[in-house]
């Protein structure tokens, strides 16, 4: 828990990372930043998908539409938060000459997106639309 609190503090004060050890080769820091940006793009796509499901599929039953939209929005928010946390953890590990941290989040993200995709396939096949 203490490490998590330290990580969150570093989100807002990345200059404190300089206290964590030696400055790594700039190419590694830039690669870490590109990975962060890829996670942010993924998060934005998920959030956009959540809004698209809610706004552009009005014929779906309300519960189905809102459930899929919320699932995408929650996974997108988690992805954005995880991106900054992963960036800080990797930067710290590089400065300390430690192994890069392992993460289960890619599995969680894949399962979340996969479950929403399966739900969408079921909706398409069963045609769960609201009666007008």
Q: Is 112 domain-assigned?
A: yes
Does residue 123 have a pLDDT over 90?
Answer: no
Q: Is 8 domain-assigned?
A: no
Does residue 132 have a pLDDT over 60?
Answer: no
Q: Is 58 domain-assigned?
A: yes
Q: Is 122 domain-assigned?
A: yes
Q: Is 72 domain-assigned?
A: yes
Q: What is the pLDDT of residues 28-57, one digit of tens each?
A: 999 999 999 999 999 999 999 999 999 988
For residues 124-130, give the mean pLDDT: 76
Q: Is 131 domain-assigned?
A: no
Q: What is the pLDDT of residues 87-99, one digit of tens each?
A: 999 999 999 999 9
**Domain total of the chain:** 1
Categorize the per-residue pLDDT at 130 as very low, low, confident or very high, splitting at 50, 70 and 90.
low
Asked if 83 and 60 touch (Cβ cutoff 8 Å), the reply is no
Q: Is 11 domain-assigned?
A: no
Q: Is 117 domain-assigned?
A: yes
Domain with 66 in it: 25-126
How is 21-68 classified by DSSP, letter by letter?
A: SPPPPHHHHHHHHHHHHHHHHHHHHHHHHHHHHHHH-TTB-HHHHHHH
Q: What is the pLDDT of residue 80?
A: 95
């Amino acid at each position: 828990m203490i490490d998590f609190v330290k990580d969150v503090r570093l989100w807002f004060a990345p200059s404190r990372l300089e206290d964590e050890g030696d400055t790594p080769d700039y190419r590694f820091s830039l690669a870490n930043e590109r990975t962060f940006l890829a996670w942010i793009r993924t998060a934005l796509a998920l959030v956009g998908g959540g809004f698209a499901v809610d706004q552009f599929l009005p014929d779906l039953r309300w519960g189905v539409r809102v459930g899929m939209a919320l699932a995408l929005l929650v996974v997108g928010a988690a992805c954005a938060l995880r991106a900054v946390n992963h960036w800080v953890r990797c930067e710290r590990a590089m400065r300390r000459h430690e192994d890069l941290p392992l993460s289960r989040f890619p599995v969680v993200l894949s399962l979340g997106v996969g479950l929403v995709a399966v739900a969408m396939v079921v909706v398409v096949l069963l045609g769960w639309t609201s009666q007008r």
